[in-house]
Amino acid sequence: MTTPEFIVVTTTHDTEEKARTLAAAAVGERLAACAQVCAVDSVYRWEGRLRTDPEWRIDFKTRAALYDRLAAFVTAHHTYDTPEVVAVPVLTGSPAYLDWLRTETAD
């Protein structure tokens, strides 16, 4: 399998304000073409306890070549001890959208 050109990188934050600030900062640095912030309910185990908390998920649309820089940026600007930073490949998309994504994340 070949490496995809584009990915969606996801993280979460504990407040909407922090999520929107992080999203805007990453897009402002051109590490992502756009970022979507959505309210979610997370169920997870942390420090031996089952937890359920509201969070705000950020989905960053970017080029795979920028993953390391975006992941480092998210980690450096995050308040969680262990922030989620995962990427999934974009296998296909509308040519016009992918061209826009490529242009907005140009070096």
Q: What is the pLDDT of residues 29-86, one digit of tens each?
A: 999 999 999 999 999 998 999 999 999 999 999 999 999 999 999 999 999 988 999 9
Give the structural domain span for 65. Answer: 6-104
Mean pLDDT of 77-105: 95
Sheet holding 49-63, edge to edge: 34-46, 49-63, 6-13, 86-90
- How many residues belong to the chain? 107
Residue 90 lies in a domain: yes
Residue 19 lies in a domain: yes
- In the numeric block, the tokens 């031996």 are attached to 48
Residue 34 lies in a domain: yes
Measured distance CA(2)–CA(54) in Å, rounded: 36
Residue 76 lies in a domain: yes
Report the number of distinct structural domains present in the chain. Answer: 1
Confirm if 74 and 26 have CB atoms less than 8 A apart.
Answer: yes
Residue 85 lies in a domain: yes
Measured distance CA(66)–CA(75) in Å, rounded: 14
Give the CATH number for residue 67. Answer: 3.30.70.120
Residue 1 lies in a domain: no
